[in-house]
Amino acid sequence: MADPRGFLTTRERELPRRRPVPVRIKDWKEVYEEQDLTVLRRQAGRCMDCGIPFCHSGCPLGNLIPEWNDLAWKGDWGEAIERLHATNNFPEFTGRLCPAPCETACVLGINQPAVTIKQVEVTTAEQAFAFGAVKPQPPERLSGKTVAVVGSGPAGLAVAQQLTRAGHTVAVYERADKAGGLLRYGIPEFKMEKSVLDRRLEQMVAEGTRFRTGVDVGADITGEQLRKRYNAIVLTTGSTIPRDLPVPGRDLDGVVQAMTYLPQANRAALGEEVPDQIVATGKDVIVIGGGDTGADCIGTALRQGARSVTSLEILPQPGMDRSPDQPWPTYPMIFRVASAHEEGGERLYAVSTSAILG
Ligand code: SF4
């Protein structure tokens, strides 16, 4: 168990600070500052090592949270990353991007703020990388079997890493020019810098995973050809077919899907030339949809220098606390302020778009 009295002596959550808004909207770097390790370890020490750790069942990966909370509290980053990697190939991604249903399921959350599990996760990963504890793990022997993984998003990368380490010869096919899928072209740099992704890809290459980027399976190579060449194929594709909003005015100039807008912005943020890039500079922007993708668009538009940003959410504004029909340990609909919301713009609720005029 982490600190046996930790949850009694520290009753508040302590999270890293976000960089000041006027500073961070002038660049694309990650929003959060590094957290003092003493504070982080104090938070890890609040974990009660519950007899029934509800955080386990809240986590879609079944992360062994109390085990690595204890190790993080002790500052044993080498062991902590071992336990973290036992269920999660990429804690540096989830520790930045996951909505953390483990925290809303944390037993401590019944009568005081939950353990800052997600922050412990990302810090453990970063400490482990910093101290060289994340090393390539090539297989000791090869199985002689070959596998094609189609799609290089997080699912494809995880399956490729596991199969490579098991000794199979794995090639990951990606139609974009670089691997990573949504991690690279969907998630803005201010939420996860791409150097974090590239660092993990380097480990995978060193382990023996091969990447075939710029290959569109189904167009450049057929499924039949893949089946002839490989013993097995794993399909881990995402979808670039967006959910449309079939209202009058949808076809007007300047009405674009997030997954058209965000990848262009991500490329430009990394210094790529993007022909005919859609930019929000000097424009009045409306973001339809109040979820995470909407927040990504808000943060991106503000960094591009939009004159105004208004977000429209179809549901009513949720309350600050759990409603009775969403009790602990469910993941509740409550009012949340993403970093992008803090940066500017207006949020309107209970707005259903019936037409776009222009
Ligand atoms: S539910 Fe919370 S307090 Fe209990 S083991 Fe998990 S993180 Fe620790």
Q: Quote the ipTM score.
A: 0.98
Position 240 confidence tier, pLDDT thresholds 50, 70, 90: confident
| Continuous segment of H or E residues that includes residue 347 | strand 346-348
Pick the CATH number of 146-235 from 3.20.20.300, 3.50.50.60, 1.10.357.10, 3.20.20.80: 3.50.50.60
CA 53–ligand 1 middle distance (angstroms) = 5
| Alpha helices in the chain, H assignment, sequence order | 6-9, 21-24, 37-44, 54-58, 65-74, 77-85, 91-97, 101-105, 117-130, 154-165, 182-185, 194-207, 223-229, 258-269, 292-303, 339-343
171 lines ligand 1 (CB under 6 A): no
- The minimum-distance atom of ligand 1 relative to the CA of 7 is 3
- Would you say residue 165 has pLDDT above 80? yes
Cβ of residue 65 lying under 6 Å from some atom of ligand 1: yes
Topology at the third CATH level for domain 6-130? Fumarate Reductase Iron-sulfur Protein; Chain B, domain 2 (1.10.1060)
Using a CB cutoff of 8 Å and minimum separation of 24, what contacts does 302-308 make? 302/25, 302/340, 302/343, 302/344, 302/345, 303/25, 303/26, 303/27, 303/28, 303/190, 304/265, 304/279, 304/280, 305/280, 305/281, 306/280, 306/281, 306/282, 307/282, 307/283, 308/284, 308/345, 308/346
Q: Are 241 and 259 in contact (CB under 8 A)?
A: no
Averaged pLDDT, 192-205 = 98
Decide if pLDDT at 136 tops 80: yes
Task: Parse the chain into domains and list their residue ranges.
Answer: 6-130, 146-235, 258-348
- CB of 188 within 6 A of ligand 1: the answer is no
In the chain, count of helices (H) and strands (E)? Answer: 16, 7
| pLDDT at site 199 | 98
Q: Which ligand 1 atom sits nearest the alpha carbon of residue 49?
A: 5
Task: Give the CA-trace dihedral at 150, 125, 328, 10, to 10 degrees.
Answer: -170
- % pLDDT > 70, the chain: 100
Is 71 near ligand 1, meaning CB less than 6 Å away?
no
Q: Whose CA is nearest to atom 2 of ligand 1?
A: 106
- Helix (H) or strand (E) segment spanning residue 233: strand 232-235
Pocket flag, ligand 1, residue 196 (CB < 6 Å)? no
The two domains 6-130 and 146-235 share their CATH topology (first three levels equal): no
CA separation for the pair 312, 350 (Å, rounded): 8
CA of 358 to the centre of ligand 1 (A): 52
Residue 64 in contact with ligand 1 by CB distance below 6 A: no
Residue 2: band (very low, low, confident or very high) from pLDDT cuts 50, 70, 90: confident
Question: Which ligand 1 atom is nearest residue 46's CA?
Answer: 3
Answer whether 107 contacts ligand 1 (Cβ < 6 A).
Answer: yes
Q: What is the mean pLDDT of residues 317-330?
A: 95
Query: pLDDT value at position 28?
Result: 97
pLDDT (average), residues 6-12: 95
Q: Phi/psi of residue 210, each to 5°?
A: -105, 145
Residue with tokens 């974090």: 196
Cβ of 154 below 6 Å from ligand 1? no
